[in-house]
Amino acid sequence: MNRNDRVLTLAAWIVVFWGMIQAKSFIIPIILAALLGFLMMPVVTLLKKRKLPEWAALSIASILLFLPVLALGGLLVNETAVLIHNYPTLLNSLKLNWAKLEASSWVKQFHLVDYLDLSYLQEKVEEEAGKGFSFFLESLKTLAEAGAHLLIILFFSVVMLASRSQLRKSAEKLVSNIRTLDEIIHLIEKFLIARIGIAVLVATLDTIILNLLGSEYSLLLGCLLGVSTLIPIVGFLIAILPPIALSIAMGHTFLRTGMIVGLLYLVSTTEAHWVTPKYLGRQLNLNLLATFIGLFAGDMMWGIWGIVLSIPILGIIRIILEASSDNKRWAILLKEAV
């Protein structure tokens, strides 16, 4: 490739990147519809094997997917509204209880004031917890805006599933080996179902832990921690601060706050080092550099949606590259070293 070709290629990528940013409102519903289509595909296939007609299989798959999402969305919106209303009170309570923490006997006993600037630490906890809440509130706002397109997304998903025969024929022209195409489809379905399933599992366990330990807004915080599994490493660090701040604001003892952090960390560590490798497989994971570049690019292009969607999209790209003998070498750039 000569110099002019390289310049033209770079210019083409810049134009594509710019176009994806400008077409955010159009591209995101299409991507969500495609991902939902992959999630519904196994259900549709199973129902078709039971001799159900196409329209019935598509309808049942749509209901099974969207009704729980709508119910959960209603609960989250209600809990968020309560949190927003009580936020000033909680912030004042956080400051008062932090002052009590500084004056407690165990702080004096271990001479923590000699090693830690507790006032600065308080400011950082408030600041970072506020960022965590802001991040999640912005995410909910984005989801609410997407809710206006919910019917469109559902319609696109159903149309894609109904047109899967035509889409498959088009894909076969791009992938000459039909077996390879089937493997790609199977791996994408496995990747998405496992990734969403892990997020739901973590959200459920964390909600139960927070609820048992007397934390308010346990569903909201549990879902925040579940969504954070889509953002490797830094996701948990962002999501853990709101539960800590809320625990202190509610006047929980240091022991209870420590138990909350410890149990949530245990769930996160188990997910990262055992559940994800077992059910996603290390061959489907992305390396650290590719992950952070994907998160950065996703944030630049589509904001919160870009952050959430970047990892699944990168995973799908890695699967497609890995399945292609001509492009397999490029998958190494994304793949985690075994």
Determine the Cα–Cα distance for residues 150 and 159; give it in Å rounded to an integer: 14
**pLDDT in the model for residue 207:** 94
Smallest CA-to-CA distance from 307 within 320, 294, 319, 316 is with 294
pLDDT at 284: 56
Query: Would you state the pLDDT for residue 134?
Result: 60
For residue 75, being part of any structural domain is answered with yes
Q: Which residue has the tokens 């000699």?
A: 114
Q: What is the pLDDT of residue 201?
A: 93
Written as tens digits, the pLDDT of the chain (338 aa) is 566 766 777 777 778 778 777 777 778 778 888 888 888 888 888 888 888 888 888 888 888 877 887 777 778 777 777 777 776 777 777 777 766 666 666 556 655 555 445 555 556 555 655 555 565 556 556 555 555 566 677 777 888 887 877 777 777 666 666 666 777 777 777 778 888 888 999 999 999 999 999 888 899 889 889 988 877 667 788 788 888 888 877 878 778 888 999 999 999 999 888 887 777 665 456 777 787 888 888 888 887 778 777 877 887 787 777 776 667 777 777 776 65
| Number of structural domains found in the chain | 1
Q: Which domain holds residue 65?
A: 23-331
Per-residue buried b or exposed e for 282-305, using 16+ beta carbons within 10 Å of the residue's own CB: eebbbeeebbebbbebbeebbebb
Rounded CA separation 211/228 (Å):
19
Q: And the tokens for 252?
A: 């929980």
Q: Residue 163 carries which side chain, given as an amino acid letter?
A: S
Please indicate, yes or no, if residue 5 is contained in any of the structural domains. no
Contact 202, 226 (CB under 8 A): yes
Separation of alpha carbons 250 and 215, rounded Å: 8
Residue 9 in domain: no
**C-alpha torsion 133→136→139→143, nearest 10:** -110
Q: Is residue 136 part of a domain?
A: yes
User: Which tokens sit at 26?
Assistant: 């159009």
Could you tell me if residue 6 is inside a domain? no
Is 302 a member of any domain?
Answer: yes
